[in-house]
Structure 1
Amino acid sequence: MLRRVFTLRWLGTLLLAALWSVAAYHLGHWQYDRHLAKVERNERIDAHYGAAPVPLTGVLAATPLPLAAEWTHVTATGTYGEQRLVVRGRTVDGEVGYEVLAPFRVDGAIVVVDRGWISQGQRGASDVPVVAPPPAGEVTLTGWVRVGEQSRGKASTPGQVASINLADISAAIGEPVLGGYVILERDSAPAGVGLTPTVLGKPDKGLGPHQAYAYQWWMTMPLGFVLIYYGLRRERDADEDALPGAPARPAKPKKVRIWDEEDA
């Protein structure tokens, strides 16, 4: 069998098996890294979500929010701006709708506030329902800071964005914004007339199947080599059977079905 391995055909097969093994190893680590990222996210949520709120200006700055500070419970007093934006294609409990964004000016800076979710209009994504404006005048709010999302690279419809990408939102409202956004918990004043956004619920802490997928990838690493081993044995047996005077291999016994009363 060793002599057979060092033929051109089987060496090529060994190379393919080795490439598969390396690919499965890295794919397993990719899935396991995703699992660890969710574990770390849950640790941040547990540490920050239920804590007493701290001043927003002590957490957010012009630079991007550090991931370790995500989900920090914050409070701020300021005024809402006049611009209105919605993030399209956001799903809550299986229903597609929008998340409503508003700029909030605090201590001379602007932070993007996610005021909550509304369902999609009856005429499709372009038919955005009329949303109640945020409270006028000075408002005190509480919420949780989040890291901005990646841009989806899509052209924005006026009044809409494809994701909560802070650079895209800054371009849409025409002013610089702080390096993170706030998911609203509550305002200190009632909103105006119109459809009031539903405040987003608690963050999902599910870990998903990534750890299981990682183990599955790693378990398939030796698969190619196992198949090669059985392929070599089968080829060896076939060659031995073809030799002159080779004894015939005993035939496998046929399975015989036993008659029972159910056949009666």
Structure 2
Amino acid sequence: MSRRTAPTAVRWSGYVAVAVLFAIACAFLSHWQFERNESRAAELELVDRNYDAVPVGLADLVPEGSTLDPEDEWHPVVMTGEYLPADQLLVRNRPHGGTAAFEVLVPFRLEDGRILIVDRGWVPPGESSREPDAVAAPPEGTVEVTVRLRPGEALTSSGESVDGGQIPTINLPLIAAVVADGERVEQSAYGALVSEQPAPATTLGALDDPSADPGPHLSYAIQWILFAIMGFVFIGYMIRTEIRARRDDDEDDEKPADTTGPIARRRRDHDADAEDALVDALGR
């Protein structure tokens, strides 16, 4: 290997190494997006299977002493009992109606004594924005309620807790700690309201249906694969460009001097004139 070739080979090896590392990173990101797409597809399939299923009793899905099976999320449950409006809580900063709304949580005591937290809907912020102007009361007395089961939410990273009857998230252990008979509160699930019988005099804003958007994960995964391929194409283009430039330089170095062109002819004429002038000078 010549001295000229050695640095070039090292440089090209560096190009290829960069392309390989870039492709590995793209493969990792593509795999991550494929996994997210699969997870989102599973979520959509779960909603499609459970959302409009026939309502069953709470004990059929969450027997006392057990927890909600993730495969039963969104499944409708019908219950008979009474609301406990004295322990009503508001979940702040919920995105409804283009505002930072409040969701209204009311404990619901079943006939067997268990308590399920029911998210009855939402209300817009009031003029002060720190609390709503009014919250419609739930039906009084014995009520038949249909809800869809949802798992509880985690606390915020800031560690916020109950503040003036408001909470940052639907964290069921936190709620159980502040409501009456908290030991009877179901802590693995709460209910998103579907219907109430009898209906209340004033209804709250209905909770949004879950999104059916699969998200951009599949397209992102394919894009990362294309980026990896483009990385190799770009490196190949750079190497080919260098080879072509070197070939042109080598051809220029090997080309013989031009002895017939106009420049060469002018040089010969100039030399002849100089010789004639020298002969004339000597003849004198």
Question: Structure 2-normalised TM-score?
Answer: 0.74
SS at match of 2:21: helix
* Identity, % of aligned positions: 35
Match of 2:192 in 1: 183
- Say whether residues 1:72 and 2:75 are aligned partners: yes
Structure having the higher Rg: 2
Match of 1:220 in 2: 227
Task: Give the aligned length.
Answer: 242
Match of 1:259 in 2: none
55 and 230 in structure 1: CA distance in 2 versus 1, 3 angstrom threshold: same
Q: Judge conservation of contact 1:151–1:163 (CA < 8 Å) in 2.
A: yes
Match of 2:32 in 1: 30
- Say whether residues 1:235 and 2:242 are aligned partners: yes
Match of 2:20 in 1: 18
Question: Please, which runs of 5 or more residues in structure 1 have no aligned partner?
Answer: 248-264
Match of 1:199 in 2: 206
Superposed, 1:1-264 pairs within 5 Å as 6-7=9-10, 9-61=11-63, 62-81=65-84, 82-106=86-110, 107-124=112-129, 126-154=130-158, 155-156=160-161, 157-173=163-179, 175-176=182-183, 177-178=185-186, 179-191=188-200, 196-243=203-250, 245=253
Say what the alpha-carbon RMSD is for the aligned residues. 2.7
CA distance in 2, matches of 1:172, 1:15: 60
Q: Which has the higher helix share?
A: 2
Quote how far apart the aligned CAs of 1:47 are.
Answer: 2.0
Q: Judge conservation of contact 1:53–1:73 (CA < 8 Å) in 2.
A: yes
Give every structure 1 segment of 4 or more consecutive aligned residues whose post-TM-superposition deviation is greater than 6 Å: 2-5
6 and 171 in structure 1: CA distance in 2 versus 1, 3 angstrom threshold: farther
CA distance in 1, matches of 2:221, 2:157: 30
CA distance in 2, matches of 1:18, 1:230: 15
Question: Structure 1-normalised TM-score?
Answer: 0.79
SS at match of 1:54: coil
Question: Please, which runs of 5 or more residues in structure 2 have no aligned partner?
Answer: 256-284
SS at match of 1:47: helix
Q: Judge conservation of contact 2:123–2:132 (CA < 8 Å) in 1.
A: no
